[in-house]
Structure 1
Amino acid sequence: MEYPVIIALDFPSGAEVFHFLRKFPDEPLFVKVGMELFYREGPAIVQQIKGMGHSIFLDLKLHDIPNTVGRAMKGIARLGVDLVTVHAAGGTEMMKAALAGLDQGTGAGQKRPKCVAVTQLTSTSEWQMQKEQLVLSTLEQSVYHYAKLAKQSGLDGVISSVHEAPIIRHLGEEFLIITPGIRLENDDVRDQKRVATPKQARQSGASAIVVGRSITESHDPYETFLKIKQQWELIGV
């Protein structure tokens, strides 16, 4: 991807977001707007960030009946975002409806937002998946199955932990693998169970990484961003 380091704007308000973004002088960024921020600030936050020249990953993880997801994606496409998410567990019909909605909402001469599917959340352990979701396969098997469904549905890629990235890469070099749960070596992992460093992510076959707290809670976010970006770029493809 053109911007392989995506910064998760996990802030509760727009005011905090713009205070944070001012720390990146003249730096075009790829940023993630998630549920907390979007539900509080609405579409206006997307338009304001786009107006600053940044690319946007709108991470709403849609999971509903196909018609509802298709109509929602039609509206989302009109916001001009660059990347969106659905849950692969919604099935192939839903994922195809999401793409159809994005196509319908994308204006003439504009690029359709890329759409990727969430496989299993990085906060989910194999024990939780088996006991609470009653998915009796291994975590790796479940993630790969969902990734294959996403590709068969025409999606651009998946969200997956670094640990499943090598097997997903068998689905093709153009298939996007975006990995959250990225931490620097000495960072606290907190609620994430399957984490990795930028170096490990690149070596595992990730297309891009999503980094939140390591950057947003740093005393110097810009310096930390550059450090993570450098770690990524030092590893050959």
Structure 2
Amino acid sequence: MPRKLSSDETLDTFEDEILYTRAALEADEDAAELLTETDGWLALVDAQRARDRSARIAETSASAQRAVANGRLDDACIRFAKQLALDVPTSSPRWKRFFSRAPSQWVTQRLVNQIAAVRGWLTIEGDAALDAHRAVLTRWSDAAQAALDRTASSAQVRGAARIGREELADDLTRERDGLHAALATRATERGLPREWPARFFRTETRRGDRDADAPPPAPAS
């Protein structure tokens, strides 16, 4: 029986297996008629490549948007702090209403907490310094939240790609087992050697092919 394919192997390895089998079938006159049994195999790999690419695009896009929005929100908070510092001392209740520690340290907190804090600020009315920065704080806190939402959505796309890869490995394994059975039947019918069916499947895999083209891991929260 051909070896069981694993979802940890690269798509190039799957493709190599298919190309080898198709070439071997075509080269053997007793097996050539079975070549059509493999006609849809490469399309399965191509479909998974598209899913993996979509997962990488979604992941990279979410990561980039999150980094940009986070940086711009930090900038907006620092500019607001500088203007507020011109109006009140950092020991005043008004200052502490916005910043519990130095602004340069305050902006290093988790993005989700920073967004919540800024949105809390935006409910405050009648603060002149805040009003001067309200629009930009609103823009970038909203953008940062959208980036977090997109990160969550990209995890679903990545999960679907991983499931698709597992299904591909299972589907190709079943298809290869079915082809092997057909070859074994033909070997019996035509008096061919018992090991003849195994000749149409590779016995070696690529070096270092584990998960090289799989979707990226989830980012740290």
Tell me whether the two structures share a fold, i.e. TM-score over 0.5: no
TM range (shorter): under 0.3
- Compute the TM-score of the two structures, normalised by the length of structure 1: 0.19
More helix by share: 2
Which structure has the larger Rg over C-alpha atoms?
A: 2
Of structures 1 and 2, the one with the larger relative CO (CA 8 A, separation 6+) is 2
